[in-house]
Amino acid sequence: MFSSTSEVDPAELLKRRRASIDAVYEELEALGPDGDPATVAAIVADALEHPTLGFLATLRDGRERLVAQSVEEYTRFVPSASSNASSAAGLVRILLLQNVDLLWWDDVDDFETLADIDRCADLVDLVAERRKGRVAFSFGIASDGLARRGRDFLVQRVMPNREPRGPGLSFTQIRPAMLGVLNEVAVAVAAAAPAGTPPIRVTSVIRTVAHQIHLKELGFSALLPSAHCRGWAADIEVAWFERFGADDALREVLMGYLDRGVLNVIDEGRAWHVCLNPAEVERYDALGHG
């Protein structure tokens, strides 16, 4: 089931790691929704003993955290519109795949609160960049204001094709390299999608740890630690693109970035999660700075 990681091209290694995680998913899925927690723990612990996934044990808190968190997420899973997964096994799969992100960015500190974001000099603001014509994708901005929420409700009722449902970004700051790669993805999708398709919609970039905890309290499958909380992940709306017959084009573009090892890409249902490989940061940082 698992394979050696010695002398393997980084893109190929990423594929093998994901294949091993898929094998874990298949074992857990076979247990059904009421699998015994001890069996879940044994399956994950066994996987982490093999070379392809053993790298995860090098992360902060390593093997013990991953086994315990996998059992917790599996046992607490309840199907809902808020969840990124359709089954308990699917949620564990997302957890393990997101920890592939963390192998890349394990030495980066989390943005615990908004103050940490404000203190970070290596960020640009998407609103300011959009005004300068430097953003090729669309995004909304979350707001608690009644006027803004009323506007969003009317847009979704009267012009459902204009933008998808959802609150928008809670934080509009972004790392330049992430801006660069998301812009490149947007251009590639625009070239592949049918005429009249709107730009891709980015639904989340940076999140603070505090916000991630808040999302989990609301019932979302917001996992910690997360590359979102380190500024190196984003979510791209996919389901909405079905309205335009463009969802396959978007998926194909994203899978191309995965195949080349540029992005770790996770199908989370309605939106797909992407994380940038640190080996690609220098190139995309230049693009993000215009």
pLDDT in tens, 227-273: 999 999 999 999 999 999 999 999 999 999 999 999 999 999 889 99
Q: How confident is the model at residue 70 (pLDDT cuts 50, 70, 90)?
A: very high
Closest Cα to residue 187, out of 140, 136, 249, 139? Answer: 136
Q: How confident is the model at residue 165 (pLDDT cuts 50, 70, 90)?
A: low
Quote the mean pLDDT of the chain. Answer: 88
The answer to whether residue 32 scores a pLDDT higher than 90 is: no
Q: How confident is the model at residue 203 (pLDDT cuts 50, 70, 90)?
A: very high
How far is CA 140 from each of CA 104, 190, 232, 250, 276, rounded to the nearest angstrom? 28, 19, 19, 19, 22
The predicted model gives 113-126 an average pLDDT of 96
The residue assigned the tokens 């463009």 is 246
Tell me the percentage of the chain whose pLDDT exceeds 70.
Answer: 89
pLDDT for 188 equals: 98
